[in-house]
């Protein structure tokens, strides 16, 4: 079997996605996801202009060799754009391999270790009562784990809650980044109070998670993690930016709150110290930005060796193929922890269908060969790319902060 064509499809059914279709001379094809929020066209160009020509004529069965060739075959390797492009190719090749074998990808990865992947969903609100109501609604839908985020008094727009279109320092145009205003002090005062409210209102059984979204400095993150200990979080996510791996030691010295990190990693070497020094409890790489299933399963094995569990990134700005890859890997490894999920809107499912489904707190994938997802290319053509950016954040004094 030979690869005959690599098609890159940029479509915007609800939000922009970059999809990769690898076609073969025997009629089999595979779809991958190469979506990088806010820099979609950079990835599309990396694929169309640089990577696709290297794949034509190759045997699609040789996934590891293709991975090594694409990753190591460029002198300046890695980074989010190139690793997202590589992930798109990798997922498409695993999709083909499954179709060729007549097996779902989880079977190729060693078969089921569990029936489904315990899922968590996002609950956000303007105040504690609104968050509580969202958690109750999520529990009623069958979730047992929920991530909770709340607006911060005085801040404009807070990650995980209604976006704040600050007109103070940014544009309100839909095709330009809106600017949020954020200060750490009110955030650090508010979050422990939110968990106090939720534990009193909901009890101890519901598993609560929180995403700091990399906005704190090491001592602030250590203080927050310590103050949250009484509320027994399932995990506290992304307390620091990935550039500060050594500072996770400070957090560890101050708390037993479980720590999760990894969605911003674009290389397994970023994960190594946090795993081998057991500075984290959950590794949360984004399979669509770390280089695909071929790379993620190597990280899962390293994590297993150090008793670290997986919690792959599962946001709304990666396509259902990556969510499917998450679950195929989740249900074929021994050290699965939890799986972030989102419900895709109808308009997205019109274009990209066959993704994982939700069943009473767990995500499941079909037994269809490959990843199980497919794309309606005619429908995709109805939704052309629309430039959009992730938000930006500035402090009240106008200085840039991390979103």
Residues at the site binding Mg ion, with contacts judged by CB under 5 A: 211
Q: Which residue is catalytic, options 210, 213, 313, 323?
A: 213
Contacts of 186 (CB under 8 A, 6+ apart): 152, 153, 154, 155
Q: Which does 97 bind (CB under 5 to 8 A by kind): Mg ion, ligand CS2, none?
A: none
Which is it for strands 362-364 and 357-359: parallel, antiparallel or unpaired? antiparallel
Contacts of 155 (CB under 8 A, 6+ apart): 164, 180, 181, 182, 183, 186, 187
Q: Which is nearer to Mg ion, 38 or 398 (CB)?
A: 38
What is the distance between the alpha carbons of residues 68 and 79, in angstroms, rounded to a whole number? 15
CA of residue 387 relative to chain centroid, distance:
21
Q: Which does 227 bind (CB under 5 to 8 A by kind): ligand CS2, Mg ion, none?
A: none
Q: Which is nearer to Mg ion, 211 or 330 (CB)?
A: 211
Q: How near is the Cβ of 315 to ligand CS2 at its closest, in Å?
A: 4
Determine the angle formed by the axes of helices 293-305 and 268-276, rounding to 10 degrees.
Answer: 10
Q: Which is nearer to Mg ion, 211 or 295 (CB)?
A: 211
Q: How near is the Cβ of 121 to ligand CS2 at its closest, in Å?
A: 10
Cβ-based neighbour number of residue 335 at 10 Å: 17
What is the distance between the alpha carbons of residues 319 and 301, in angstroms, rounded to a whole number? 25
Cβ-based neighbour number of residue 367 at 10 Å: 10
Q: How near is the Cβ of 159 to Mg ion at its closest, in Å?
A: 8
Q: Which is nearer to Mg ion, 211 or 227 (CB)?
A: 211
Q: Which does 317 bind (CB under 5 to 8 A by kind): ligand CS2, Mg ion, none?
A: ligand CS2
Q: Which is nearer to Mg ion, 260 or 371 (CB)?
A: 260
Q: What is the DSSP letter of 50?
A: I
Residues 86-145 that bind ligand CS2 (CB under 6 A): none
For residue 146, the SS3 value is: strand
Q: Does residue 214 come out as left (phi exceeding 0), alpha (psi in the -120 to 50 range) or beta?
A: left
Q: Determine the residue with CB nearest ligand CS2.
A: 315
**Binding flag, residue 33, ligand CS2 (CB under 6 A):** no
Nearest residue to 6 via CA among 58, 48, 62, 46: 48
Looking at 130-138, 248-256, 312-320, 351-359, which segment touches ligand CS2 (CB under 6 A)? 312-320
Q: How near is the Cβ of 3 to ligand CS2 at its closest, in Å?
A: 30
Q: Which does 315 bind (CB under 5 to 8 A by kind): ligand CS2, Mg ion, none?
A: ligand CS2
Q: Which of 11, 16, 37, 309 binds ligand CS2 (CB under 6 A)?
A: 37
Active site residue 106: no
Are 71 and 291 in contact, with CB atoms under 8 Å apart? yes
Q: Which of 189, 390, 395, 400 binds ligand CS2 (CB under 6 A)?
A: 390
What is the distance between the alpha carbons of residues 184 and 191, in angstroms, rounded to a whole number? 11
What is the distance between the alpha carbons of residues 190 and 210, in angstroms, rounded to a whole number? 13
Q: Which is nearer to ligand CS2, 132 or 263 (CB)?
A: 263
| Sheet-wide strand order for 29-33 | 3-11, 17-24, 29-33
What is the distance between the alpha carbons of residues 258 and 273, in angstroms, rounded to a whole number? 17
Residues 275-294 that bind ligand CS2 (CB under 6 A): none
Residues 199-258 that bind ligand CS2 (CB under 6 A): 211, 213
Q: Which residue is catalytic, options 17, 159, 178, 362?
A: 159
Q: Which of 33, 132, 227, 317 binds ligand CS2 (CB under 6 A)?
A: 317
Q: Which of 263, 270, 281, 330 binds ligand CS2 (CB under 6 A)?
A: 263
Q: Which is nearer to ligand CS2, 52 or 225 (CB)?
A: 225
Planar angle of CA 19, 362, 283, nearest 5 degrees? 65
Looking at 4-12, 124-132, 249-257, 310-318, which segment touches ligand CS2 (CB under 6 A)? 310-318
Contacts of 98 (CB under 8 A, 6+ apart): 104, 105, 107, 108, 369, 370, 371
Q: How near is the Cβ of 134 to Mg ion at its closest, in Å?
A: 17
Residues 339-358 that bind ligand CS2 (CB under 6 A): 340
Active site residue 231: no
Under the rule (CB under 6 A), what is the footprint of ligand CS2? 37, 211, 213, 263, 313, 315, 317, 340, 390
Write out the catalytic residue numbers: 159, 213
């Amino acid at each position: 079997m030979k690869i005959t064509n690599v098609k890159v499809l940029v479509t915007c059914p609800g939000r922009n996605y970059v999809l990769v279709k690898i076609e073969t001379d025997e009629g089999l094809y595979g779809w991958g996801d190469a979506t990088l929020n806010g820099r979609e066209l950079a990835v599309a160009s990396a694929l169309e202009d640089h990577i696709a020509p290297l794949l034509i004529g190759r045997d699609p069965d040789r996934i590891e060799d293709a991975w090594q060739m694409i990753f190591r075959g460029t002198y300046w390797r890695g980074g989010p754009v190139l690793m997202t492009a590589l992930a798109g190719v990798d997922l498409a090749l695993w999709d083909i391999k499954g179709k060729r074998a007549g097996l779902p990808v989880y079977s190729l990865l060693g078969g089921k270790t569990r029936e489904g992947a315990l899922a968590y969903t996002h609950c956000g609100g303007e105040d504690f009562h609104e968050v509580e109501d969202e958690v109750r609604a999520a529990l009623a839908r069958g979730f047992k784990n929920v991530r909770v985020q709340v607006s911060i008094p005085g801040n404009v727009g807070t990650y995980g809650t209604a976006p704040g279109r600050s007109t103070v320092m940014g544009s309100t145009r839909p095709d330009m980044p809106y600017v949020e205003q954020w200060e750490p002090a009110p955030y650090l005062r508010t979050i422990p109070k939110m968990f106090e409210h939720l534990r009193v209102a909901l009890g101890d059984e519901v598993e609560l998670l929180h995403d700091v979204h990399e906005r704190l400095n090491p001592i602030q993150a250590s203080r927050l993690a310590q103050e949250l200990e009484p509320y027994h979080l399932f995990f506290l996510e992304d307390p620091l930016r990935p550039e500060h791996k050594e500072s996770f030691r400070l957090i560890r010295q101050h708390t037993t709150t479980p720590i999760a990190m990894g969605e911003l990693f674009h290389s397994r070497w970023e994960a190594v110290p946090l795993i081998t020094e057991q500075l984290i409890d959950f590794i949360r790489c984004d399979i669509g930005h770390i280089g695909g299933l071929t790379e993620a399963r190597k990280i899962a094995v390293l994590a297993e060796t150090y008793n670290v569990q997986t919690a792959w990134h599962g946001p709304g700005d990666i396509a259902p193929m990556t969510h499917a890859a998450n679950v195929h890997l989740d249900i074929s490894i021994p050290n699965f922890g939890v799986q972030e999920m989102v419900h895709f809107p109808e308009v997205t499912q019109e274009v990209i269908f066959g993704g994982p489904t939700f069943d009473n707190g767990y995500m499941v994938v079909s037994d269809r060969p490959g990843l199980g997802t497919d794309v309606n290319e005619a429908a995709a053509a109805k939704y052309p790319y629309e430039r959009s950016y992730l938000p930006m954040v500035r402090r009240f004094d106008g200085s840039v902060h991390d979103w």
